[in-house]
């Protein structure tokens, strides 16, 4: 296995970077924390934008973070086809940056929801979900007050037609329903990818499902997809010679 080198971006107010570094350690990966004011990601195999409250989430979630200096490097890395994962606040930042379509609005019930949540894999492709199968269920933590995915109807139709709705909130038997939806997201959407498929944003926290003792390891199941994806990239193998 090629041990992935992952750069985890830290904004002022980010809170999940250490959990990502821990999950990376469990997987045998190398994780490097990159402060938002830096402009060099350090030649990683993948980039993670973790959860938290970047810049206090003032104005809108992710609105200030998208202008942090490091985001120019993240955009260039993604434009080059590099794998980028945005979880929770990281998803919100990617949407504000225009790297993913749509926005995340206040939960429809106004509660901050912190819970275990069933997800269904609807598009098992790309670096972050390619190791899974369509219909696979993942049990991951969610922890957010503003996770209601919104885009106009035409955009939602286009996302579905292009298999870019990666994950949906479901019941334990895999059914999309209002009761399974923790925040009022359009069409039960929990995660979407960009057009090229190398950027994934999702509200749940895969990095917090990395130890059986504290609830499960479905996050590791998901993240391991990256290993297989990288093994199929000639450029990565060459870089290691």
Partner 1 sequence: MRWLADVHVALRPGIADPEGTTIAGGLRSLGYPVTEVRAGKSMRVAFEADDAAAAETAVAEMCRRLLANPVMEVATWQLRADETPGDDEAIPA
Residues 6 or more apart whose CB falls under 8 angstroms from that of 88 comprise 16, 50, 51, 52, 142, 143, 144, 147, 202, 203, 204, 205
Residue 124: other Cβ atoms inside 10 A: 18
Does residue 211 carry a catalytic annotation? Answer: no
157 forms part of the interface with partner 1 (CB under 8 A): no
Q: Which structure tokens are listed for 177?
A: 């329903």
Catalytic residue among 17, 36, 55, 88: 88
Residue 43: other Cβ atoms inside 10 A: 10
Minimum CB distance to partner 1, residue 150 (Å): 6
> How many residues interact with partner 1 (rule CB under 8 A)?
19
Select 32 or 150, whichever has its Cβ closest to partner 1.
150
Distance CA 183, CA 113 (A): 8
227 forms part of the interface with partner 1 (CB under 8 A): no
Determine which residue in the list 60, 113, 139, 187 makes contact with partner 1, applying CB under 8 A: 60
Catalytic residue among 17, 96, 146, 207: 207
105 forms part of the interface with partner 1 (CB under 8 A): yes
Contact 51, 15 (CB under 8 A): yes
Determine which residue in the list 39, 42, 108, 175 makes contact with partner 1, applying CB under 8 A: 108
Distance CA 235, CA 212 (A): 34
Interacting stretch for partner 1, rule CB under 8 A, among 96-104, 157-165, 168-176, 193-201? 96-104
Sign of the Cα pseudo-torsion (148, 173, 222, 167, in order)? negative
Determine which residue in the list 2, 3, 26, 103 makes contact with partner 1, applying CB under 8 A: 103
Determine which residue in the list 1, 39, 43, 109 makes contact with partner 1, applying CB under 8 A: 109
Contact 16, 205 (CB under 8 A): yes
Select 102 or 216, whichever has its Cβ closest to partner 1.
102
Interface with partner 1 in residues 166-185 (CB under 8 A): 184
Q: Which of 174, 169, 163, 175 is nearest to 124 (CA)?
A: 163
Minimum CB distance to partner 1, residue 148 (Å): 8
Does residue 114 carry a catalytic annotation? Answer: no
Report DSSP state, residue 124. Answer: -
Q: Which structure tokens are listed for 222?
A: 């998901």
Does residue 88 carry a catalytic annotation? Answer: yes
Active site residues: 88, 205, 207
């Amino acid at each position: 296995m090629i041990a992935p080198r992952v750069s985890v971006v830290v904004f002022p107010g980010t809170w999940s970077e250490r959990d990502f570094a821990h999950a990376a350690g469990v997987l045998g990966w190398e994780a490097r924390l990159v402060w938002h004011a830096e402009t060099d990601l350090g030649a990683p195999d993948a980039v993670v934008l973790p959860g938290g409250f970047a810049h206090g989430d003032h104005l809108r979630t992710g609105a200030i973070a998208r202008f942090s200096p490091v985001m120019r490097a993240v955009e260039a890395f993604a434009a080059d086809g590099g794998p980028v994962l945005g979880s929770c606040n990281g998803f919100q930042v990617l949407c504000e940056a225009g790297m993913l379509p749509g926005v995340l609005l206040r939960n429809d019930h106004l509660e901050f929801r912190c819970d275990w949540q069933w997800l269904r894999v609807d598009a098992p492709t790309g670096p972050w979900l390619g190791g899974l199968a369509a219909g696979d269920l993942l049990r991951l933590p969610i922890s957010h007050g503003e996770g209601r995915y919104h885009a106009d109807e035409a955009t939602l139709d286009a996302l579905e037609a292009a298999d870019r709705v990666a994950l949906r909130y479901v019941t334990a038997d895999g059914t999309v329903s209002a009761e399974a939806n923790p925040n009022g997201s359009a069409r039960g959407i929990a995660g979407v990818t960009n057009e090229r498929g190398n950027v994934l944003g999702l509200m749940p926290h895969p990095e917090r499902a990395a130890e059986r003792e504290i609830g499960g390891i479905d996050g590791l199941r998901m993240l391991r997809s990256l290993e297989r994806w990288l093994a199929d990239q000639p450029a990565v193998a060459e870089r290691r010679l």
